[in-house]
Structures are given as C-alpha cells and as structure tokens.
Amino acid sequence: MPVDPQLRSLNIDIPAQPESLVRLSLLLADDVVNIQALNALIATDMALASAVLKAVNSSIYGLRGRVQSVQQAITYLGTREVAAITFEMGLRAVFPASPELEPIWQRASVRGVLMGRIGQALGVDPWACHSAGLFEECGKAVLYRHAPERYGPLLQQAEDDEDLVLLEHEAFGVSHDALGAALCESWGLVATAVSSVRFHVMVNATGELPMQLARRGVCAISALAHALMTDPELLDAAAEQIAPQADLDPLLVLRGARRVQEQIEAAVARDREAA
C-alpha cells in the first residue's frame, strides 16, 4: 500500500519536541551538567515538575522515602534518570491521553529504567539506552495520533509487534518502528538510540542484530529488556545469543541484567508491603 501522504511528509504526525525538552537537551549536551539549571528548568514548569515527582515516587525507582522536590529527585536518582523521566513526561504530553496508549507509556517507563540501568552496569551509554527504551514504542502513538479510529483496533488485533508491523503496513504503508525512529531523529536523540528504535521489532523477532550497525550495544540491551518484560526465563538464552553480536561478554551481560531485575523487583515488593 502507498504511504499516506501525511505520514510521508512527517509534518502532521511527527510532533515537534517541546521547548522545555529542547532546553533540557542543550543542558545535557554539556560535559558537566549544570544541576542548578536542570533543577530550575523542571521545577519552574509546574505541570512537568508534578509529573516528574509522581513518576519518581513510583515503586520502579526504588526510593525508600518520598521525594518532595525536583532537587531531591536529582540528588537521589542522578541527572540521567531525572532527565529521562522528564523526557518521558514530555513525550506523553504531545500525544492525546487515551486508554489505548496508556499501556505503551507504562511499558516505556519500565523499559527505560531497565535499559538505562543495564547499560550503566555494562558500560554502554546509559542515556542512549534509557532514551531508546522510552521511545521504542512511540511510533504507535504517532499512528494513533494520526488515525485513532483506524489504529486503535490494530493494537487490539495484533498478537505481537511483529504481527502489528504487518498490519500497519497493510493499513498505512508504514510501520511504528520506522515512525518511531523518525520521531527520535527529529527530537535529536543519539544515533544509537534511533537505531535501536528502528530495528527493535526485527531484533526481538530474530535475535539477530543488524550487521550495518557499528555500535550495537543499545540494540543488544533492548533485546535483554524485551526478554525481561515478556518472559524472564528467556533471559539466559537472549544473553547467550545477543551479547557476542555486540562484543559483550554473555556472563557479564546476564549478571548485570539479573542484578537490575532484582533491584526493581525488590523496590516493587517494598512498595506493596508499604501499601
């Protein structure tokens, strides 16, 4: 099917990066991040600050006490995770609120944390990993924003992302992985994150990393996060298959991924006990 002209132009369905995130990107581009400027950027936007604090206080981040300010969040979590949460809130804000998209955002939050922390454990650019995790499914939001009445049923119909990509091509002539990569590029994400978003469906379906990529670490960590989120029993096999393709040690990869998994599970368990 020919690509819808509106999707081909990318002018209507690919939203512009919010101004607050443009400024955040400029701050993060500095070798030494200005903590005071980062705090001021988030804290002076009341809607953004409240959304960030709500996210920070969720169980996934594993903080034992309640965080009441952006400065506290930065102190406890560090600039990368707070910046990533800010990007997550900014990403959600440019798309319509809907029940169909809520599971996408929930998975994005978990995937971002998993990938960022696994990347940190393995020495693979944690910011690129976290960003790739957040944006991996954003192309679905792009298509939903473009045609909610047509795309909503596809989300319900598809058994998995591989099946969804086929349905998307039939209905729109383009798939969410390509559109997600286009959004990442337009928002200025690093090339390794863009590539991970572009190829994640193929990697998860085949277990093979694209040969044309010189740096494959982020894609590899995406596959590990996918295994953890869909069937943790597959993690050992995923690490054994994927790690060598990215020049990573399978044993170290498995240890790092398991450690992050245990940290998050422990945080969720504490939250349940407190409730």
Give the chain's domains with CATH numbers.
Answer: 17-93 (no CATH), 99-274 (1.10.3210.10)
**Cα distances (Å, whole numbers) of residue 164 to 85, 199, 204, 247:** 27, 14, 13, 31
Whether 111 shows a pLDDT value over 90: the answer reads yes
pTM: 0.86
Q: What mean pLDDT is predicted for residues 233-237?
A: 93
pLDDT band at 76 (very low <50, low <70, confident <90, very high): confident
Q: Which of 12-16, 99-103, 106-110, 258-262 has the lowest mean pLDDT?
A: 12-16
Q: What mean pLDDT value characterizes the chain?
A: 88
Whether 238 shows a pLDDT value over 70: the answer reads yes
Q: Rounded to an integer, what is the distance from CA 183 to the centroid of its chain?
A: 13
State the residue for tokens 């995923």. Answer: 238
More confident: 207 or 64: 207
Q: What mean pLDDT is predicted for residues 123-147?
A: 94
Q: What mean pLDDT is predicted for residues 24-46?
A: 85
State the residue for tokens 């790690």. Answer: 243
- pLDDT (0 to 100) of residue 268: 67
- pLDDT (0 to 100) of residue 13: 56
How far is it, in rounded angstroms, from Cα 147 to Cα 214? 36
More confident: 261 or 123: 123
Q: What DSSP character marks residue 244? A: G
Whether 260 shows a pLDDT value over 70: the answer reads yes
State the residue for tokens 């690129």. Answer: 128
Whether 227 shows a pLDDT value over 80: the answer reads yes
R_g over Cα of the chain = 18
Q: What mean pLDDT is predicted for residues 103-128?
A: 93
89 three-class SS: helix
Q: What mean pLDDT is predicted for residues 159-166?
A: 96
E-strand stretches of 54-94: none
**Cα distances (Å, whole numbers) of residue 138 to 144, 151, 197:** 10, 14, 9
Whether 59 shows a pLDDT value over 90: the answer reads no
Of all residues in the chain, what percent carry a pLDDT higher than 90? 55
Whether 12 shows a pLDDT value over 60: the answer reads no
pLDDT band at 46 (very low <50, low <70, confident <90, very high): confident
